[in-house]
Amino acid sequence: MTHDGTTRLTPRQIVAARCRAVTEARWFAVGAFALILANAAVLGIETYAGVLHRWHDELKLVEHGFLAAFTAEILLRAGAHADRPRDFFRDPWNLFDLAVVLCAFLPVVRENATVLRLLRLARVLRAARFLPQLRIVLVAVVHSLPGTVSFLLVGALLLYVYAMVGWVFFADADPGHYGSIGRAVLTLFLLMTLDGLGDIVRDGLAISRWSILYYASYVLLASFVLVNVLIGVVITSLEEARELEREEKDEPGPPTTGTAGASERDVRDRIAAARRALDELEESLERLPAPLTHTTEATTAPVGSGHT
């Protein structure tokens, strides 16, 4: 605590405040998003063999520049949490960015061109960090996974049952579509998208008129009921993700004081310093001589008796 009553910031708090001033600036987010788009453009350019052969050295230099820029970005983000490192690792996007950057420095990754391209492609996914609507969609997809797993189990069971029924009735007459359980599953899976429905139904009617019941019931259950259930699960998860995003925006941020913008940790440190100062004042008061009140009474008593 300084002489003027303010709390002296620790080196970590100073580093965190300066890094936050950079990472919370709008130009920082715009620049990082532009780097991600440029990285995606370079990846697309490298798919042309002629361009890659002619500008190989230049593209290699550009890739090193991207790696340096993304490394500086993650270091600044980590520095912004220097006073509270645990908060950095609680953010899934920070963990994803850190993994993408660190893997690029591994010798095993750098020596494998295919893995390196996939890693560079993963950088494009970081664009979701700067696009709130896309981030909401990704969160909704993650939240819908439990419901999607149940949907997949029901769909797989339905597909298997109808594939076995199709193999039993149509294997001899239509071996191209129902000659084995694998072919029957593939046929019905494609039929779930209503692709080639007319041709398959005509082939079934040529075998038996009762096949219309088989195809009609399957299309009704697979293409309408199950697909609509999946859409409902995704829409519900999307609403939940939007509600979470809205709650995060409504939450009050940490109080800011001064130009550094003190965080909750800074406020707690200042409260602790104030308590220590109060304890020191109490100790100073306890050290004062106790007879001080008695001497005051002795000097005031004769004055009062003289007036009476």
| Contact of 257 with 14, CB cutoff 8 Å | no
Name residue, tokens 């697309």. 44
pLDDT of residue 257: 39
Tokens for 280?
A: 């020191």
DSSP state of 80: T
pLDDT of residue 255: 44
Confidence of residue 10 (pLDDT cuts 50, 70, 90): confident
d(CA 122, CA 70): 12
- C-alpha 240: how far from chain center: 15
d(CA 257, CA 203): 77
Confidence of residue 263 (pLDDT cuts 50, 70, 90): low
Residues 197-208 have a mean pLDDT of 84
Which domains, and CATH codes, for the chain?
11-130 (1.20.120.350), 145-250 (1.10.287.70)
pLDDT of residue 165: 92
Task: Please tell me the pTM assigned to this model.
Answer: 0.55
Residues 119-125 have a mean pLDDT of 82
d(CA 178, CA 160): 12
Surface-to-core class of residue 174, CB atoms within 10 Å of its CB (0-12 exposed, 13-18 middle, 19+ buried): buried
